[in-house]
Amino acid sequence: MKWYAQELKNNPHVVLPQQVAGGQSAWHLYVIRVNPRSRDQLAKYLSALGIGVNFHYPAVYAHPYYRRNGYRRTSLLNTDLYAATSLTLPCYPDLTQARVKFIAKKINSFFAR
């Protein structure tokens, strides 16, 4: 989503998703990455403003089924880091540019505090 990239590109606290060279994304999700110490606070802040955010995707081995079935001690550094830093922003067909600007403005103001 070019709108999010445009509005968040100058925020040093946000890592934007990158398009793979030669690839084409369907953009069914728009996942940013932020410092793990601020991710949950940012999610609560946005939720309190009526902005629905989510977390995609936790490590498969972190799900209770896998923990019970042989993956209790599994930990992959990059997978765990991704899960701790990723935050899914609203992304749907009727999302307007004005709404994206509003969401981005709130993200930028969160980190400006």
pLDDT tens string 65-91: 999 999 988 999 999 999 999 999 999
Q: Structurally, how many domains does the chain consist of?
A: 1
Domain limits for position 79: 30-112
21 within a domain of the structure (yes/no): no
- Predicted TM-score (pTM) of the model is 0.90
Identify the band that residue 21 occupies on the pLDDT scale cut at 50, 70 and 90.
Answer: confident
Q: What is the CATH number of the domain that holds 107?
A: 3.90.1150.10
104 within a domain of the structure (yes/no): yes
Alpha carbons within 13 angstroms on the beta-carbon side of residue 96 total: 3
65 within a domain of the structure (yes/no): yes
**Does pLDDT of 1 surpass 80?**
no
Q: How far apart are CA 14 and CA 33, in angstroms?
A: 6
Q: How far apart are CA 19 and CA 59, in angstroms?
A: 22
86: number of Cβ within 10 Å: 21
35 within a domain of the structure (yes/no): yes
